[in-house]
Amino acid sequence: MVSPGKAVSVLIDTPVWKDYFRKQEQTFATVNGLMDDGRICCLDLVVAELLQTAKSQKERKVFQDFTRVFPILQEPLAAWQEAAVLSCKLRQKGGPISLRDCYVALMARIHGVLLYTTNKALHRAQEGIGIAFFPERTASR
């Protein structure tokens, strides 16, 4: 958890990182600001997804360095099972969300960090998941 007075860390989802590396202007500036403030954290899953799409050895090296540069959120025991239960509950309520997305959201919730994602399904299910998003405002639906 984050100590009082310290800015909350931000877990950046894979699609946002892809926009960042495409140098999408707003995303590039925002992520650089978060880096400068030391607010970024990461997941092994996100690093693996980025590595899977690397187009060169240089890109692969950059993605592998994430585990050295950013704190990696540790996976608690049975996290994937808990994500599966969450996915099932959301599907029963009419809002199907992939197991992968539920896992990312669950990890943000467990670690008390903000989630920076462009995933509209996650934004729609925010209340059912119990997470907060970056930027810290209500997501448009």
Find the angle CA(93)-CA(116)-CA(59) to the nearest 5 degrees.
120
- Reported as a single tens digit per residue, the pLDDT across 117-141 is 999 989 888 888 889 999 865 444 3
Tell me what pLDDT residue 5 has: 58
- Reported as a single tens digit per residue, the pLDDT across 3-44 is 455 789 999 999 999 999 999 999 999 999 999 999 999 999
Q: Is 12 helix (H, G, I), strand (E, B) or coil?
A: strand
The pTM of the full predicted model, rounded to 2 decimals, is: 0.89
The structural architecture, per CATH, of the domain 10-129 is 3-Layer(aba) Sandwich (3.40)
What angle do helix axes 99-111 and 44-52 make, rounded to 10 degrees? 140
- Reported as a single tens digit per residue, the pLDDT across 87-103 is 999 988 877 899 999 99
